[in-house]
């Protein structure tokens, strides 16, 4: 199934170097065990992606200050097609976060996702007339709900509490890493 606007492996290299990515991972106390537990999480979450997205979209939809980023900048009304296309990519992001190696290709796509939230490229992928960028504060604040709400899904397949905790910890590290990279374009040149 082709996902509209999903261009993994087809975007320019990130200005963040793989060496910098490795230093970020080191700062996050990333281990090979985290990679293993992310792969386990992928197996657990694979058939739950739509349920996860229902929860997350319900959360966004119940907060006008968040659904605002999916609204037409002239009418203030949510753009349904835009929400659906982003939803499909968001679902793929869940799997990519867990399954893809954290290498130059992954790094490049995180840059692309970040640019799509920033005024640099927001709205271009889907050709919409939505508000021009997502405020930085919500990029960072979203780390908590995306991390907190995933744990019950990780616990649904009969893994031990210790395995669930390790999957959740690996997920948390991966989400923080991703959001850091998405926020690069918001930072003044040379200060990232």
Confidence (pLDDT) at 81: 97
Of how many residues is the chain composed? Answer: 192
Q: What DSSP line would sit under 77-134, residue for residue?
A: -B-HHHHHHHHHHHHHHHHHHHHS-SSHHHHHHHHHHHHHHSTTTTTTTTT--B-S--
pLDDT at position 82? 97
What pLDDT sits at residue 113? 98
What number is the average pLDDT over the span 139-164?
98
DSSP 3-state assignment of 72?
strand
What is the overall mean pLDDT for the chain?
97
**Which residues does residue 132 pair with via DSSP β-bridges, in sequence order?**
none
Structure-token pair, residue 7 = 């261009």
pLDDT surpasses 90 at 22: yes
Output DSSP code: residue 164: H
Contacts of 55 (CB under 8 A, 6+ apart): 149
Per-residue pLDDT tens for 62-87? Answer: 999 999 999 999 999 999 999 999 99
Q: How confident is the model at residue 44 (pLDDT cuts 50, 70, 90)?
A: very high
The domain locations on the chain are 37-186
Q: Model pTM?
A: 0.96
pLDDT value at 116 more than 90: yes
Position 133 scores a pLDDT of 97
Is pLDDT of 1 > 90?
no
pLDDT for 147 equals 98
Tell me the mean pLDDT in the region 10-27. Answer: 98
**What CATH fold (topology level) applies to the domain 37-186?**
Globin-like (1.10.490)
Biggest alpha carbon–alpha carbon distance for the chain = 50
Output the pLDDT for position 98.
98
């Amino acid at each position: 199934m082709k996902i509209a606007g999903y261009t993994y492996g087809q975007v320019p290299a990130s200005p963040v170097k793989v060496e910098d990515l490795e230093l970020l991972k080191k700062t996050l106390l990333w281990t090979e065990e985290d990679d293993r537990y992310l792969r386990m999480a992928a197996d657990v979450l694979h058939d739950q992606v739509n349920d996860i997205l229902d929860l997350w979209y319900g959360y966004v939809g119940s907060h006008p200050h968040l659904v605002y980023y999916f609204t037409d900048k002239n009418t203030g009304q949510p753009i349904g097609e835009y929400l659906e296309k982003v939803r499909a990519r968001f679902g793929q992001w869940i799997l990519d976060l867990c399954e893809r190696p954290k290498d130059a290709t992954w790094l490049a796509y995180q840059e692309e996702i970040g640019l799509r939230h920033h005024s640099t490229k927001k709205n271009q992928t889907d050709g919409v007339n939505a508000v021009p960028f997502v405020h930085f504060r919500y990029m960072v604040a979203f780390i908590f709900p995306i991390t907190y709400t995933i744990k019950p899904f990780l616990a649904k397949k009969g893994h031990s509490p210790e395995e669930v905790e390790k999957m959740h910890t690996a997920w948390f590290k991966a989400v923080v890493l991703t959001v850091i990279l998405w926020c690069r374009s918001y930072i003044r040149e040379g200060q990232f």
